[in-house]
């Protein structure tokens, strides 16, 4: 049984990417300012580090976001990944997004913003130019009707649980305690201030709480008395009443078991992560039947045992209350439809993936994401001493959020996190919407 301290100045709830990153950077901030150390911080997790979304994430790191504010979060995050690549098992192989005409202007906007910020990328325009570019990298590339390619020379991927354990080592090296098997059951209040965190193993008095629990956010949000429906002001000043704060999506990710050493570029290099959105008919690799002739999207990368990736998620509504990663969860594995969809997308892109549906490996993957009212994160102080990191399923890649939160906890303003304040819903200061089939791009 874990032994809880009687009190800690900072209690971090959740030992995934956000909780660990925040604890690590907060410990460094306290030490640098001479006002404390990692010994002032405890991280609580109801299971263990990386047991939830962070530990089974596909691990893609990208700046492919239409929303400028999301791009800024990713610019800061990629810096953290690059500075700690070896410790966090990060591979900066780059990221490629390929789209058809409906998204041409989106990628042009992203590219222009990346150039202004110094984020390294190339833009290839025109169907034949894109096709020739891809054939130069992959001689068996065959996808057509893709008219713009954004090739990010930064970004790439990290191995999920390895990077989490790398963060654990960094956190513990700063003197922070990580307590596993400690489930939060409630909070002790004095007015709007939380004075203690209640758990199955006892109570910890505290002056500051940071919550970063991924898909479990709705439960803790409710414990804090925060609203599960909100009013949203639209850009035209109309107000939508009682919109659900949380919607659950089943994340569609999986892998095919092939020899990873054979998935390389024409010059033998490690391939970049690839994202394709297309309106070309998607033909089943298994049956030869048309799956869809509407906009579809997949992403994929080389992994330790083959090729891993995902597709557009399933909407589960607002009431997916079971443990999203428990052994009995119906949300832990993907739909059979996903397997057909994703392997069809792979076969659509390259000759080498024809027949790959037979190599699909069934394993627990994906899980559930808790998306906010506009599908973008909420990073904000929701009570005087409670800071909430609600990542809206953008979590794993955004390791830089913890660095920014640590600065905010020290009393600084973060222009990176400000666009994700909770008040944006009431103010109508919402993020722009792209033409992507994904709800978060």
Question: How far is residue 29's CA from residue 24's CA, in Å, rounded to a whole number?
Answer: 9
Element (H, E) at 297: strand 296-302
* Contact assessment for residue 133 and residue 166, using Cβ atoms and an 8 Å cutoff: no
Using 50 as the pLDDT threshold, list the residues of the chain that sit under it: none
- Give the integer Cα–Cα distance in Å for 25 and 407: 8
Residues 6+ apart with CB under 8 A from 349: 141, 142, 143, 274, 276
Contact 154, 92 (CB under 8 A): yes
Q: Which residues pair with 98 in a beta bridge?
A: 149, 276
Question: What distance in Å separates the CA atoms of residue 60 and residue 300, rounded to the nearest whole number?
Answer: 9
Tell me the fold of 1-91+157-227+376-431: FAD/NAD(P)-binding domain (3.50.50)
CA nearest 274: which of 152, 128, 428, 382?
A: 152
Distances (CA, A) of 73 to 32, 44, 141: 23, 25, 32
pLDDT at 364: 59
What is the pLDDT, as a whole number, of residue 412?
A: 97
CB contact set of 128 (below 8 Å; sequence gap of 6+): none
Q: Would you state the pLDDT for residue 177?
A: 97
**Which SS3 state, helix, strand or coil, does residue 75 take?**
helix
Distance between CA 353 and CA 112 in Å, rounded?
33
**And the tokens for 64?**
């492919």
Identify the pLDDT of residue 320: 64
Q: In the structure encoding, which two tokens stand for residue 330, read together?
A: 């119906």
Q: If you search the block for the tokens 């050493």, which residue do you land on?
A: 261
Q: Which residue has the tokens 């033909």?
A: 283
95 neighbors 61 (Cβ within 8 angstroms): yes
Torsion of CA 26, 29, 30, 33, to 10 degrees: -170
The token duo for 420 is 């994700």
Rounded Cα–Cα distance for residues 420 and 18 (Å): 15
Query: In sequence order, what are the beta bridge partners of 274?
Result: 96, 300
DSSP SS3 for 131: helix
Measured over the CA atoms of residue 306, residue 165, residue 409 and residue 204, the dihedral's sign is positive
**What pLDDT sits at residue 86?**
97
259-302 tens-digit pLDDT = 999 999 999 999 999 999 999 999 999 999 999 999 999 999 99
Q: Which candidate, 355, 261, 254, places its Cα nearest to that of 302?
A: 261
For residue 349, give the H/E element and its range.
helix 336-349
> Where does 62-159 have alpha helices with state H?
68-83, 104-117, 127-137
**Tokens describing residue 120:** 């390294």
- pLDDT tens string 365-395: 667 788 999 999 999 999 999 999 999 988 8
pTM across the whole model: 0.94
User: What are the angstrom distances between the C-alpha of 394 and each of 17, 18, 109?
Assistant: 11, 11, 21
As a three-state string, the secondary structure of 209-276 is EEECCHHHHHHHHHHCCCCCEEEEECCCCCEEEEEECCEEEEEEEEEEECCHHHCCCCCCCCCCEEEE
Structure tokens belonging to residue 196:
């203690």
Beta-ladder partners of 44: 13, 179
d(CA 221, CA 382): 9
Q: What is the pLDDT of residue 245?
A: 96
Coil/strand/helix, residue 396: coil
Residue in the block written with tokens 């003197």: 175
């Amino acid at each position: 049984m874990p032994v809880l301290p009687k009190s800690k100045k900072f209690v971090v709830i959740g030992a995934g990417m956000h909780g660990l990153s925040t604890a690590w950077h907060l410990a460094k901030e306290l030490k640098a300012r001479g006002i404390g150390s990692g010994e002032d911080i405890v991280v609580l997790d109801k299971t263990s580090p990386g047991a939830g979304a962070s530990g089974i994430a596909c691990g893609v790191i990208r700046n492919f976001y239409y929303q400028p504010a999301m791009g800024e979060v990713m610019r800061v995050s990629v810096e953290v990944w690059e500075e700690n690549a070896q410790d966090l098992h990060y591979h900066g192989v780059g990221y490629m997004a390929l789209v058809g005409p409906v998204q041409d202007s989106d990628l042009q906007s992203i590219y222009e913003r990346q150039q202004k910020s110094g984020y390294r990328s190339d833009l290839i325009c025109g169907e034949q130019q894109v096709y020739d570019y891809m054939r130069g990298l992959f001689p068996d590339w065959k996808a057509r009707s893709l008219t713009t390619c954004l090739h990010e020379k930064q970004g790439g991927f990290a191995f999920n649980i390895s990077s989490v354990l790398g963060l654990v080592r960094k956190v513990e090296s700063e003197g922070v305690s990580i307590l596993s098997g400690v489930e939060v059951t409630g909070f002790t209040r004095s007015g709007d201030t939380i004075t203690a965190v209640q758990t199955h193993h006892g109570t910890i008095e505290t002056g500051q709480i940071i919550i970063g629990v991924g898909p479990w956010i709705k439960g803790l949000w409710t414990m804090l008395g925060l609203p599960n429906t909100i009013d949203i002001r639209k850009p035209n000043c109309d107000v939508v009443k009682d919109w659900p704060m949380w919607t659950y999506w089943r994340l569609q990710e999986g892998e095919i078991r092939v020899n990873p050493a054979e998935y390389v570029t024409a010059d033998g290099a490690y391939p970049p992560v690839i994202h394709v959105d297309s309106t070309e008919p998607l033909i089943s690799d298994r049956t030869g039947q048309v799956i869809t002739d509407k906009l579809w999207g997949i992403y994929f990368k080389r992994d330790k045992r083959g090729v891993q990736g995902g597709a557009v998620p399933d909407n589960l509504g607002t009431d997916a209350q079971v443990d999203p990663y428990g052994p009995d969860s119906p949300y832990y594995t993907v739909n059979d439809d996903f397997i057909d969809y994703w392997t069809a997308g792979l076969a659509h892109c390259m000759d080498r993936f024809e027949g790959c549906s037979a190599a699909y490996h069934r394993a627990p993957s994906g899980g559930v994401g808790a998306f906010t009212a506009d599908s973008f994160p909420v990073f904000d102080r929701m009570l005087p001493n409670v800071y909430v990191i609600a990542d809206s399923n953008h979590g794993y890649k955004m390791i830089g959020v913890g660095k920014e939160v640590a600065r905010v906890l020290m009393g600084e303003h973060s222009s990176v996190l400000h666009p994700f304040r909770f008040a944006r819903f009431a103010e109508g200061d919402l993020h722009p919407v792209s033409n992507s089939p994904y709800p978060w791009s």
